[in-house]
Chains A and B, each alone.
Chain A
Amino acid sequence: MNKRTKLTIGIIAMAAAIVGINYTSGTLMAKTEGMKVFSYHADYKVYEDMEELESQSPIIVNAKFTGERETILGDSVTDFIPFSKSKVKIKKVMKGDLEEEDNVLVFEPAAIDSEKNEFVTVEGYNLMSEEGEYTLFLRDTPKENSYQIVGMYQGKYDHSINDNVKNRTFITDFEDAIYDDVANEEIIGDNLNHFQKLKDKVVQKYNWE
Protein backbone atom coordinates (compact mmCIF):
# COMPACT_ATOMS: atom_id res chain seq x y z
CA MET A 1 0.00 0.00 0.00
CA ASN A 2 1.63 3.25 -1.09
CA LYS A 3 1.58 6.51 0.86
CA ARG A 4 -1.19 8.08 -1.24
CA THR A 5 -3.50 5.08 -0.74
CA LYS A 6 -2.86 5.13 3.03
CA LEU A 7 -3.57 8.87 3.16
CA THR A 8 -6.81 8.44 1.17
CA ILE A 9 -7.99 5.62 3.44
CA GLY A 10 -7.11 7.71 6.48
CA ILE A 11 -9.06 10.73 5.23
CA ILE A 12 -12.09 8.58 4.36
CA ALA A 13 -11.97 6.90 7.78
CA MET A 14 -11.72 10.25 9.56
CA ALA A 15 -14.58 11.72 7.51
CA ALA A 16 -16.74 8.67 8.24
CA ALA A 17 -15.97 8.98 11.95
CA ILE A 18 -16.87 12.69 11.97
CA VAL A 19 -20.13 12.09 10.07
CA GLY A 20 -20.92 9.21 12.42
CA ILE A 21 -20.34 11.31 15.53
CA ASN A 22 -22.44 14.15 14.15
CA TYR A 23 -25.25 11.79 13.19
CA THR A 24 -25.23 10.18 16.62
CA SER A 25 -25.17 13.58 18.30
CA GLY A 26 -28.02 14.70 16.08
CA THR A 27 -30.12 11.70 17.03
CA LEU A 28 -29.41 12.18 20.70
CA MET A 29 -30.10 15.89 20.40
CA ALA A 30 -33.38 15.23 18.62
CA LYS A 31 -34.48 12.89 21.39
CA THR A 32 -33.29 15.29 24.09
CA GLU A 33 -35.00 18.28 22.53
CA GLY A 34 -38.19 16.43 21.59
CA MET A 35 -41.36 17.17 23.49
CA LYS A 36 -41.62 14.72 26.37
CA VAL A 37 -44.90 12.90 26.93
CA PHE A 38 -46.41 12.60 30.42
CA SER A 39 -49.49 10.41 30.52
CA TYR A 40 -50.99 10.23 33.99
CA HIS A 41 -53.48 7.78 35.44
CA ALA A 42 -56.88 8.71 36.80
CA ASP A 43 -59.80 7.07 38.55
CA TYR A 44 -62.50 7.25 35.89
CA LYS A 45 -65.47 5.35 34.57
CA VAL A 46 -64.49 2.58 32.19
CA TYR A 47 -67.34 1.96 29.77
CA GLU A 48 -68.12 -1.71 29.26
CA ASP A 49 -69.34 -1.25 25.69
CA MET A 50 -70.59 1.37 23.20
CA GLU A 51 -74.18 1.03 24.44
CA GLU A 52 -73.15 2.07 27.96
CA LEU A 53 -71.09 4.96 26.53
CA GLU A 54 -74.10 6.11 24.48
CA SER A 55 -76.43 5.94 27.46
CA GLN A 56 -74.08 8.18 29.48
CA SER A 57 -73.60 10.70 26.63
CA PRO A 58 -76.32 13.36 26.30
CA ILE A 59 -74.74 14.54 23.04
CA ILE A 60 -73.28 12.50 20.16
CA VAL A 61 -72.02 14.36 17.07
CA ASN A 62 -69.73 14.14 14.09
CA ALA A 63 -67.39 17.14 14.12
CA LYS A 64 -64.22 18.72 12.72
CA PHE A 65 -61.60 20.53 14.78
CA THR A 66 -61.33 24.11 13.45
CA GLY A 67 -57.70 24.58 14.48
CA GLU A 68 -58.57 27.10 17.21
CA ARG A 69 -57.28 25.92 20.56
CA GLU A 70 -56.58 27.62 23.89
CA THR A 71 -54.16 25.89 26.23
CA ILE A 72 -54.91 26.34 29.93
CA LEU A 73 -51.79 26.12 32.10
CA GLY A 74 -51.31 26.88 35.78
CA ASP A 75 -48.96 29.32 37.49
CA SER A 76 -46.55 26.44 38.08
CA VAL A 77 -46.39 22.75 37.17
CA THR A 78 -47.59 21.72 40.63
CA ASP A 79 -50.46 24.21 40.59
CA PHE A 80 -52.63 22.76 37.89
CA ILE A 81 -53.25 19.88 35.48
CA PRO A 82 -53.16 21.46 32.00
CA PHE A 83 -56.00 21.06 29.54
CA SER A 84 -57.15 22.52 26.20
CA LYS A 85 -60.26 24.30 24.97
CA SER A 86 -60.67 23.35 21.33
CA LYS A 87 -63.24 24.74 18.90
CA VAL A 88 -65.07 22.20 16.73
CA LYS A 89 -67.62 22.63 13.95
CA ILE A 90 -70.57 20.26 14.20
CA LYS A 91 -71.18 18.30 10.99
CA LYS A 92 -73.96 15.96 12.05
CA VAL A 93 -75.99 15.56 15.23
CA MET A 94 -76.93 12.02 16.22
CA LYS A 95 -78.13 12.86 19.74
CA GLY A 96 -78.68 16.04 21.74
CA ASP A 97 -79.56 19.69 21.27
CA LEU A 98 -76.71 20.95 19.05
CA GLU A 99 -77.25 21.99 15.44
CA GLU A 100 -75.25 21.30 12.29
CA GLU A 101 -72.65 24.01 11.57
CA ASP A 102 -72.62 25.09 15.25
CA ASN A 103 -69.17 26.00 16.56
CA VAL A 104 -68.67 24.82 20.13
CA LEU A 105 -65.80 24.54 22.60
CA VAL A 106 -64.70 21.10 23.69
CA PHE A 107 -62.59 20.64 26.81
CA GLU A 108 -59.79 18.20 25.94
CA PRO A 109 -58.01 16.45 28.83
CA ALA A 110 -54.54 17.08 27.39
CA ALA A 111 -52.32 20.05 26.57
CA ILE A 112 -49.01 21.07 25.11
CA ASP A 113 -46.95 22.98 27.65
CA SER A 114 -44.73 24.88 25.21
CA GLU A 115 -42.66 26.54 27.90
CA LYS A 116 -41.64 23.20 29.40
CA ASN A 117 -41.67 21.44 26.02
CA GLU A 118 -43.96 18.78 27.47
CA PHE A 119 -47.18 17.09 26.38
CA VAL A 120 -49.36 16.35 29.39
CA THR A 121 -52.32 14.02 29.14
CA VAL A 122 -54.52 11.72 31.19
CA GLU A 123 -55.02 8.04 30.35
CA GLY A 124 -53.33 8.44 26.96
CA TYR A 125 -55.83 10.89 25.41
CA ASN A 126 -54.38 12.67 22.35
CA LEU A 127 -55.51 16.05 21.02
CA MET A 128 -57.76 16.41 17.96
CA SER A 129 -56.15 17.40 14.68
CA GLU A 130 -57.58 19.43 11.79
CA GLU A 131 -57.34 16.41 9.48
CA GLY A 132 -59.45 14.25 11.76
CA GLU A 133 -63.11 13.36 11.23
CA TYR A 134 -64.48 12.80 14.68
CA THR A 135 -67.40 11.20 16.38
CA LEU A 136 -67.59 12.85 19.79
CA PHE A 137 -69.53 11.71 22.86
CA LEU A 138 -70.14 14.89 24.85
CA ARG A 139 -71.65 16.18 28.06
CA ASP A 140 -72.72 19.77 28.72
CA THR A 141 -70.79 21.87 31.27
CA PRO A 142 -71.92 24.93 33.24
CA LYS A 143 -69.66 27.02 30.99
CA GLU A 144 -71.38 28.65 28.02
CA ASN A 145 -71.13 26.75 24.73
CA SER A 146 -68.57 24.38 26.32
CA TYR A 147 -68.67 20.60 26.41
CA GLN A 148 -66.79 17.79 28.08
CA ILE A 149 -65.66 14.59 26.35
CA VAL A 150 -67.32 11.64 28.06
CA GLY A 151 -64.78 9.17 29.42
CA MET A 152 -61.78 11.09 28.01
CA TYR A 153 -60.21 8.71 25.41
CA GLN A 154 -63.48 6.74 25.32
CA GLY A 155 -65.42 9.68 23.88
CA LYS A 156 -63.42 10.68 20.77
CA TYR A 157 -62.99 8.60 17.60
CA ASP A 158 -61.26 9.62 14.36
CA HIS A 159 -62.85 8.03 11.28
CA SER A 160 -59.94 9.17 9.06
CA ILE A 161 -57.65 6.68 10.81
CA ASN A 162 -58.68 3.28 9.56
CA ASP A 163 -55.81 1.19 10.88
CA ASN A 164 -56.44 -0.78 13.98
CA VAL A 165 -54.86 1.31 16.70
CA LYS A 166 -53.06 -1.78 17.96
CA ASN A 167 -51.09 -1.87 14.73
CA ARG A 168 -50.12 1.78 14.94
CA THR A 169 -49.04 2.70 18.44
CA PHE A 170 -46.07 0.98 19.97
CA ILE A 171 -45.44 3.38 22.82
CA THR A 172 -46.50 2.14 26.22
CA ASP A 173 -46.82 4.23 29.35
CA PHE A 174 -43.57 2.77 30.60
CA GLU A 175 -41.48 4.04 27.70
CA ASP A 176 -40.02 7.53 27.44
CA ALA A 177 -42.07 8.81 24.53
CA ILE A 178 -41.35 11.87 22.43
CA TYR A 179 -44.52 13.60 21.18
CA ASP A 180 -43.38 13.64 17.54
CA ASP A 181 -43.44 9.83 17.67
CA VAL A 182 -47.07 9.70 18.76
CA ALA A 183 -48.57 12.99 17.52
CA ASN A 184 -50.67 11.25 14.85
CA GLU A 185 -51.98 8.53 17.13
CA GLU A 186 -55.48 8.61 18.56
CA ILE A 187 -54.38 7.26 21.91
CA ILE A 188 -51.09 6.68 23.69
CA GLY A 189 -50.33 3.99 26.22
CA ASP A 190 -52.08 1.19 28.03
CA ASN A 191 -55.74 1.53 27.00
CA LEU A 192 -55.37 0.53 23.34
CA ASN A 193 -57.37 -2.70 23.46
CA HIS A 194 -60.30 -1.14 25.25
CA PHE A 195 -60.27 1.88 22.92
CA GLN A 196 -60.23 -0.31 19.80
CA LYS A 197 -63.08 -2.47 21.10
CA LEU A 198 -65.23 0.65 21.47
CA LYS A 199 -64.03 2.22 18.20
CA ASP A 200 -64.93 -0.86 16.13
CA LYS A 201 -68.56 -0.42 17.19
CA VAL A 202 -68.58 3.39 16.91
CA VAL A 203 -67.31 3.52 13.30
CA GLN A 204 -69.79 0.81 12.36
CA LYS A 205 -72.75 2.77 13.74
CA TYR A 206 -71.80 6.43 13.25
CA ASN A 207 -70.83 6.75 9.61
CA TRP A 208 -68.96 10.01 9.05
CA GLU A 209 -70.35 10.79 5.57
Chain B
Amino acid sequence: MRKISSLVAILFVVSAFSIPASGSQGKTNANAFWPGGGFSNSKYSKLTYSTSNAVDRLGYSRYVDDAVNEFDSISDANIGFRKLSSGDGEMLSIVMDEKNSSEYARDAFGIMIPFKIDPKTTSYERASNYETWAYAKIWLNDYMMKQHKFTSDERNKTTIHEIGHAFAMEHQYDGVKSVMVSGQISYPDLQQLDISNLQWKY
Protein backbone atom coordinates (compact mmCIF):
# COMPACT_ATOMS: atom_id res chain seq x y z
CA MET B 1 0.00 0.00 0.00
CA ARG B 2 2.85 2.35 0.92
CA LYS B 3 4.51 1.55 -2.43
CA ILE B 4 1.32 2.43 -4.32
CA SER B 5 1.01 5.71 -2.38
CA SER B 6 4.63 6.57 -3.16
CA LEU B 7 4.08 5.78 -6.83
CA VAL B 8 0.98 7.98 -6.97
CA ALA B 9 2.89 10.80 -5.26
CA ILE B 10 5.79 10.51 -7.71
CA LEU B 11 3.41 10.46 -10.70
CA PHE B 12 1.63 13.53 -9.33
CA VAL B 13 4.88 15.46 -8.95
CA VAL B 14 6.12 14.40 -12.40
CA SER B 15 2.83 15.32 -14.08
CA ALA B 16 2.76 18.68 -12.33
CA PHE B 17 6.14 19.55 -13.80
CA SER B 18 5.12 18.23 -17.22
CA ILE B 19 2.10 20.48 -17.70
CA PRO B 20 3.06 23.07 -20.32
CA ALA B 21 2.61 26.70 -19.49
CA SER B 22 -0.62 27.87 -21.06
CA GLY B 23 -3.63 30.11 -20.74
CA SER B 24 -3.94 31.74 -17.37
CA GLN B 25 -0.62 30.39 -16.07
CA GLY B 26 1.58 32.56 -18.24
CA LYS B 27 5.17 32.03 -19.26
CA THR B 28 7.66 32.12 -16.44
CA ASN B 29 11.43 32.42 -16.10
CA ALA B 30 13.29 31.31 -19.25
CA ASN B 31 10.02 30.66 -21.10
CA ALA B 32 9.13 34.34 -20.82
CA PHE B 33 12.19 35.46 -22.83
CA TRP B 34 13.43 35.02 -26.40
CA PRO B 35 16.09 32.34 -26.10
CA GLY B 36 19.48 33.84 -26.95
CA GLY B 37 17.92 37.29 -27.51
CA GLY B 38 18.71 40.67 -25.98
CA PHE B 39 21.77 42.66 -25.05
CA SER B 40 24.32 40.86 -22.95
CA ASN B 41 22.88 40.71 -19.41
CA SER B 42 25.39 43.09 -17.83
CA LYS B 43 24.33 45.92 -20.20
CA TYR B 44 20.91 46.09 -18.54
CA SER B 45 22.43 47.47 -15.34
CA LYS B 46 22.97 50.77 -17.17
CA LEU B 47 20.85 50.67 -20.30
CA THR B 48 21.54 53.87 -22.24
CA TYR B 49 18.56 55.23 -24.14
CA SER B 50 17.37 58.29 -26.00
CA THR B 51 14.05 59.71 -27.10
CA SER B 52 13.42 61.64 -30.31
CA ASN B 53 12.04 65.17 -30.46
CA ALA B 54 8.77 63.73 -31.76
CA VAL B 55 8.36 61.76 -28.52
CA ASP B 56 8.27 65.13 -26.71
CA ARG B 57 6.22 66.84 -29.41
CA LEU B 58 3.47 64.21 -29.33
CA GLY B 59 3.36 64.05 -25.53
CA TYR B 60 4.93 60.62 -25.06
CA SER B 61 7.80 61.69 -22.76
CA ARG B 62 5.62 61.06 -19.71
CA TYR B 63 4.83 57.54 -20.90
CA VAL B 64 8.50 56.79 -21.57
CA ASP B 65 9.52 58.25 -18.18
CA ASP B 66 6.84 56.22 -16.41
CA ALA B 67 7.84 53.04 -18.24
CA VAL B 68 11.55 53.51 -17.50
CA ASN B 69 10.71 54.09 -13.82
CA GLU B 70 8.68 50.87 -13.77
CA PHE B 71 11.72 48.83 -14.80
CA ASP B 72 14.20 50.91 -12.80
CA SER B 73 12.31 50.44 -9.55
CA ILE B 74 12.21 46.64 -9.60
CA SER B 75 13.92 45.38 -6.47
CA ASP B 76 16.34 42.43 -6.60
CA ALA B 77 17.13 43.04 -10.27
CA ASN B 78 20.27 44.58 -11.69
CA ILE B 79 18.40 47.01 -13.95
CA GLY B 80 19.24 50.66 -14.47
CA PHE B 81 18.94 53.36 -17.13
CA ARG B 82 20.93 56.35 -18.31
CA LYS B 83 19.39 58.85 -20.71
CA LEU B 84 21.57 60.20 -23.52
CA SER B 85 20.99 62.62 -26.35
CA SER B 86 19.94 61.01 -29.59
CA GLY B 87 22.96 59.81 -31.56
CA ASP B 88 25.31 59.73 -28.54
CA GLY B 89 25.88 56.00 -28.74
CA GLU B 90 22.72 54.97 -26.91
CA MET B 91 21.77 51.27 -26.92
CA LEU B 92 18.03 51.92 -27.16
CA SER B 93 16.27 54.66 -29.15
CA ILE B 94 12.61 55.44 -28.68
CA VAL B 95 11.00 57.28 -31.60
CA MET B 96 7.58 57.90 -33.12
CA ASP B 97 6.46 55.94 -36.19
CA GLU B 98 5.63 58.78 -38.57
CA LYS B 99 8.08 58.80 -41.47
CA ASN B 100 7.05 58.41 -45.15
CA SER B 101 3.50 57.46 -44.09
CA SER B 102 4.82 54.53 -42.06
CA GLU B 103 2.24 55.20 -39.36
CA TYR B 104 -0.45 53.96 -41.78
CA ALA B 105 1.49 50.86 -42.87
CA ARG B 106 0.87 48.74 -39.81
CA ASP B 107 -2.21 48.46 -37.63
CA ALA B 108 0.08 48.26 -34.59
CA PHE B 109 0.69 50.48 -31.57
CA GLY B 110 4.41 49.87 -31.18
CA ILE B 111 7.25 47.75 -32.52
CA MET B 112 10.75 46.98 -31.23
CA ILE B 113 13.45 45.96 -33.69
CA PRO B 114 16.94 44.79 -32.66
CA PHE B 115 20.18 45.27 -34.59
CA LYS B 116 23.67 43.81 -34.48
CA ILE B 117 26.96 45.00 -35.94
CA ASP B 118 27.98 43.67 -39.34
CA PRO B 119 31.60 42.59 -38.81
CA LYS B 120 32.47 43.42 -42.43
CA THR B 121 31.14 46.98 -42.55
CA THR B 122 30.93 47.66 -38.77
CA SER B 123 27.57 49.29 -39.41
CA TYR B 124 24.27 48.06 -37.98
CA GLU B 125 22.32 45.28 -39.64
CA ARG B 126 19.01 43.69 -38.71
CA ALA B 127 19.15 41.07 -35.98
CA SER B 128 16.62 38.43 -35.06
CA ASN B 129 15.00 38.35 -31.65
CA TYR B 130 17.07 35.25 -30.90
CA GLU B 131 20.63 36.57 -30.97
CA THR B 132 22.74 39.10 -29.08
CA TRP B 133 21.95 42.69 -30.00
CA ALA B 134 24.12 45.80 -30.20
CA TYR B 135 21.28 48.31 -30.57
CA ALA B 136 17.49 48.34 -30.46
CA LYS B 137 14.86 50.82 -31.55
CA ILE B 138 11.26 51.26 -30.48
CA TRP B 139 8.72 52.88 -32.78
CA LEU B 140 5.54 54.11 -31.05
CA ASN B 141 2.58 54.75 -33.35
CA ASP B 142 0.55 57.72 -32.13
CA TYR B 143 -1.69 57.67 -35.22
CA MET B 144 -2.84 54.10 -34.54
CA MET B 145 -3.27 54.69 -30.81
CA LYS B 146 -5.52 57.65 -31.65
CA GLN B 147 -7.45 55.56 -34.20
CA HIS B 148 -8.12 53.00 -31.47
CA LYS B 149 -8.98 55.79 -28.99
CA PHE B 150 -6.30 54.83 -26.49
CA THR B 151 -6.53 56.00 -22.88
CA SER B 152 -3.46 57.15 -20.93
CA ASP B 153 -3.25 53.78 -19.18
CA GLU B 154 -3.29 51.98 -22.54
CA ARG B 155 -0.48 54.24 -23.85
CA ASN B 156 1.46 53.44 -20.68
CA LYS B 157 0.96 49.72 -21.29
CA THR B 158 2.15 49.88 -24.91
CA THR B 159 5.27 51.85 -23.92
CA ILE B 160 6.08 49.38 -21.12
CA HIS B 161 5.32 46.47 -23.50
CA GLU B 162 7.85 47.69 -26.07
CA ILE B 163 10.54 48.35 -23.46
CA GLY B 164 9.75 44.83 -22.22
CA HIS B 165 10.66 43.56 -25.71
CA ALA B 166 13.96 45.47 -25.40
CA PHE B 167 14.52 43.32 -22.29
CA ALA B 168 14.00 40.28 -24.60
CA MET B 169 10.60 39.50 -23.08
CA GLU B 170 8.34 37.72 -25.54
CA HIS B 171 4.56 37.88 -25.80
CA GLN B 172 2.49 36.28 -23.09
CA TYR B 173 -0.63 34.19 -23.69
CA ASP B 174 -3.95 35.99 -24.07
CA GLY B 175 -5.76 36.27 -20.77
CA VAL B 176 -2.61 36.34 -18.66
CA LYS B 177 -2.16 39.36 -16.36
CA SER B 178 0.96 40.78 -17.99
CA VAL B 179 2.01 43.85 -19.95
CA MET B 180 3.49 41.44 -22.51
CA VAL B 181 0.05 40.33 -23.75
CA SER B 182 -0.62 41.97 -27.12
CA GLY B 183 -3.53 44.32 -27.38
CA GLN B 184 -5.32 47.40 -26.20
CA ILE B 185 -5.06 46.69 -22.49
CA SER B 186 -5.24 49.06 -19.56
CA TYR B 187 -2.15 48.15 -17.52
CA PRO B 188 -0.34 51.31 -16.43
CA ASP B 189 2.27 49.27 -14.52
CA LEU B 190 4.36 46.13 -14.84
CA GLN B 191 2.36 43.21 -13.47
CA GLN B 192 3.61 40.75 -10.83
CA LEU B 193 4.35 38.07 -13.45
CA ASP B 194 6.48 40.55 -15.44
CA ILE B 195 8.35 41.65 -12.33
CA SER B 196 9.14 38.11 -11.19
CA ASN B 197 10.33 37.17 -14.69
CA LEU B 198 12.61 40.23 -14.86
CA GLN B 199 13.94 39.45 -11.38
CA TRP B 200 14.67 35.90 -12.51
CA LYS B 201 16.70 37.00 -15.53
CA TYR B 202 18.34 40.22 -14.35
Contacts and interface: CB of A to CB of B under 8 A. Distances in A.
A59 B101 CA distance: 20
A141 interface: yes
Interface in B91-126: 93, 97, 99-102, 104-113, 115, 123-126
Nearest to B125: A77
Contacts of A74: 99-100
Given A41-B129, A78-B115, A120-B126, A109 B106 contact: yes
Contacts of A122: 106, 108, 111
A146 B148 contact: no
B184 A45 contact: yes
Interface residues of B, number: 41
A80 B108 contact: no
Contacts of B123: 76
B186 to A, nearest CB: 13
Contacts of A80: 99-100, 102
A120 B123 CA distance: 18
Interface string A27-70: 00000000000101111111000000000000000000000000
Interface stretch (B21-29, B68-76, B158-166): B158-166
B139 interface: yes
A81 B113 contact: yes
Interface in A136-173: 139, 141-143, 146, 148-152, 155, 173
A139 to B, nearest CB: 7
A46 B139 contact: no
Contact of A155 (B107, B112, B113, B147): B107
Nearest to B104: A141
B102 A77 contact: no
A72 to B, nearest CB: 6
B182 interface: yes
A42 B104 CA distance: 14
B130 interface: yes
A43 B148 CA distance: 13
Interface of A: 38, 40-46, 72, 74, 76-81, 83, 107-109, 116, 118, 120, 122-123, 139, 141-143, 146, 148-152, 155, 173-174, 176, 190
Interface of B: 35, 93, 97, 99-102, 104-113, 115, 123-126, 128-130, 135, 137, 139, 147-148, 157-158, 161-162, 165, 170-171, 174, 182-184
